Amino acid sequence: MKAGRLRHRVDIQSKVSGQDPVTGEVIEGQWVTVWARCPAAVEPLSARDLYAAQAAQSEAIARITIRYRKGVLPAMRILHRDKVYSIVGQPLADAQSGLEHLTLQVTTGVNDG
């Protein structure tokens, strides 16, 4: 994969739960950035498809390609500019070596990731 294709920067976040050390209160899941400013190729829907998705509960689908990283899971989310993308399904490794890049199918619009 050519480096110029990965011209966008995304943050990959994971939801973590914890316990307050002072009060002992369980803190519900908070999103924490695992990998910041990862080089990525973000391929959103075309403008026509986005226009067709302008329903009250619309959902946009995109494809994000990143360099291979061990540990990327469907429970994570992606931040790109001002949008939150939820990962749908398992990340797909490249067909050649399986260690060059990952392709993530993502959605945005219905939930917060």
pLDDT in tens, 26-82: 888 889 999 999 999 999 764 445 555 555 566 778 899 999 999 999 999 999 998
Which of the listed CATH numbers 2.40.50.100, 3.40.50.1220, 1.10.10.10, 2.40.10.270 matches domain 3-108? 2.40.10.270
* Contacts of residue 53, Cβ cutoff 8 Å, sequence gap at least 6: 45, 59, 60, 109
What is the pLDDT averaged over residues 17-32?
83
Q: How far is Cα 113 from Cα 31, in angstroms, rounded to an integer?
A: 9
In this structure, what token pair is assigned to residue 9? 């920067």
List Cα–Cα distances, 50 to 39, 57, 89, 96, in angstroms.
24, 13, 22, 32
pLDDT at 20 over 80: no
Angstrom distance (rounded) from CA 12 to CA 33 = 6
Q: What's the whole-model pTM score?
A: 0.77
